[in-house]
Amino acid sequence: MHNFRWWLAFSSALLLNVLPSSAHAVVNSEVIRVIFNAGDKSASLALINSPQQPALVQVWTDTGNPASQPNEETTPVIALPPVFKMQPGELRSITLQLTDTSALPRDREALYWLNVYQIPPMTQTDAQVTQKVVLPLRIRMKVFIRPKGVGALKESDAETLRVTYAGAQNQLQITNPTPWHITLAAISCEAGSTSGIMIAPLATVSVPLQGRGASCSSVRYEAINDHGTLWQYEKAVSRLP
pLDDT of residue 167: 82
Task: Let me know: does 74 contact 121? Beta carbons within 8 Å.
Answer: no
Query: Residue ranges of the domains in the chain?
Result: 2-145, 155-239
Q: Quickly list H helices, the chain.
A: 2-18, 124-128, 155-158
pLDDT of residue 79: 97
Task: Let me know: does 96 contact 145? Beta carbons within 8 Å.
Answer: no
SS3 18: helix
b/e map 197-225, b = 16+ CB within 10 Å: bebebeeeeebebeeeeeebeebebbbbb
pLDDT of residue 82: 97
pLDDT of residue 216: 87
How many angstroms separate the CA atoms of 175 and 157, rounded?
12
Query: Residue 233 is inside which H or E element, if any?
Result: strand 230-236
Beta strand spans in 4-134 (E): 27-29, 33-36, 42-49, 55-62, 77-80, 83-86, 91-98, 110-119
pLDDT of residue 11: 38
The class level of CATH for 155-239 reads mainly beta
Which residue type, as a one-letter code, is found at position 67? Answer: A
Q: Quickly list H helices, 113-202.
A: 124-128, 155-158
pLDDT of residue 71: 87
CATH of domain 2-145: 2.60.40.10
**CATH topology agreement for domains 2-145 and 155-239:** yes
pLDDT of residue 131: 54
Mean pLDDT per 10-residue interval, the chain, length 241 residues: 39 36 66 96 96 92 93 94 95 97 96 93 57 71 97 98 90 97 95 93 94 81 96 92 65
Sheet strand arrangement including 182-189: 192-199, 182-189, 218-224, 230-236
